[in-house]
Amino acid sequence: MQTSINKQASIIYRNSHIYFDRELAPYHIGSGQQFFLLRIYEFPGITALEIAKIGHYDKGTCARAISKLCELGYVERKLVEEDKRSSQLYVSTKGKEVVRQTKIVLKKWNDILCNDLEVEEQRQLEKQLEKMADHAFSYINERKKGSICKK
């Protein structure tokens, strides 16, 4: 067997899924909302599609995550008069407390993963993962739709 990078990434992803589902259960959200909530907090007024792009998510997935956050009252949509297709997203007061907790939960997960890595090692690993994620996404994206790659 050659390298096991794909296997390890899968294990990390699947366990993070379990982790967030467990830790965020008190707030009635799961691993699928975590990323979106934090992004809306980070960029007030961001639109659904913009978040989808940042995280390389499908827009359908994104729409559902945001719907759930709105239903729970953690996020609010503000209609934009100039363009009625999209709406701007904001974390509500109620949602801010959940953001605080979610940040703690995320930080803890990061610490669990990086347990025995030196700071410098961690920084380097992060860079490499970023590159790999970029390769992964680019490869997939270039082969979307029209076969002939188009932006």
Partner DNA sequence: CTAATATAGTTGCATATGCAACTATATTAG
69 binds DNA (CB under 7 A): no
Residue 2 Cβ, how far from a second copy at the closest point, in Å?
6
63 binds DNA (CB under 7 A): yes
What is the maximal distance between C-alpha atoms in the chain? 57
Q: Smaller CB distance to DNA: residue 12 or 117?
A: 12
Of 37, 40, 66, 98, the residue at the interface with DNA (CB under 7 A) is 66
**Region 44-63 residues binding a second copy, contact defined as CB under 8 A:** 55-57
Residue 43 CA to residue 46 CA, distance in Å, equals: 6
Secondary structure string (H, E, C) spanning 80-143: CCCCCCCEEEEECHHHHHHHHHHHHHHHHHHHHHHCCCCHHHHHHHHHHHHHHHHHHHHHHHHC
Residue ranges binding DNA (CB under 7 A): 10, 14, 17-18, 21, 29-33, 47-50, 56-61, 63-68, 82-87, 140, 144-145
